[in-house]
Amino acid sequence: MTIGGLVGVPVLRALVSPGFDRTAPAAWIKVADDINTLDLGVPIKVDFVEVVNDVWVESRLLRSVWLYTEDAQAFTAFSGVCPHLGCSFFFEADKKVFHCPCHHGLFDGKSGAVLGGPPPRGLDTLEVRVEDGALFVKHRLFRPGISTKEVLA
């Protein structure tokens, strides 16, 4: 292969690849080793590191999900990203609501439904599965600022 060919392939890929769908497959992330150790009736924040490869650069991103269960049998997992503009949010235990400090979005602590503020939809839920007593979440990112739940990655 010539020098021109070696240089041309990455340049061609850089010009052409933005036109292709870059939706990444969802990853199943283990968020609890033992479902029986999770607090009942209180949302729990779980942070994890996602490794992202962008052609030549490998990055590590801190992601989070919120888990909720009342009986350690049925689980709800919420994305840790506010659906308004993508900020992180926290749980106010005394009011039993999730609160996004960016624009004061409020969400129900059990269902994730919008209670107040500008968010266009409730918190984004994620698929969950239990396997050998461990809890896994199918992590996805969703487009913020729109009323429908649209997968980004």
In a domain, residue 75? The reply is yes
Q: What is the dihedral of CA 9, 152, 62, 72, to 10 degrees?
A: -140
In a domain, residue 14? The reply is no
Contact 134, 36 (CB under 8 A): no
Placement of tokens 């994890």 in the chain: 48
In a domain, residue 28? The reply is yes
The pLDDT assigned to 21 comes to 46
| Enclosing domain of residue 84 | 22-139
Domain count, the chain: 1
Exposure string over 64-88, b if 16+ CB within 10 A, otherwise e? bbbbbbeebeebbbbbbbbbbebee
How far apart (Å, rounded) are the C-alpha atoms in residues 152 and 142? 5
The pLDDT assigned to 4 comes to 55
In a domain, residue 7? The reply is no
Contact 76, 60 (CB under 8 A): no
What is the pLDDT tens value at each position of the chain, 153 positions in all? 565 555 555 554 555 554 444 445 568 999 999 999 999 999 999 999 988 888 889 999 899 999 999 998 999 999 999 999 999 999 999 999 999 999 999 999 999 999 999 999 999 999 999 999 999 999 999 999 999 999 986
Contact 111, 79 (CB under 8 A): no
Phi, psi (5° rounding) for residue 140?
-140, 160
Instruction: Give me the CATH number covering residue 103.
Output: 2.102.10.10
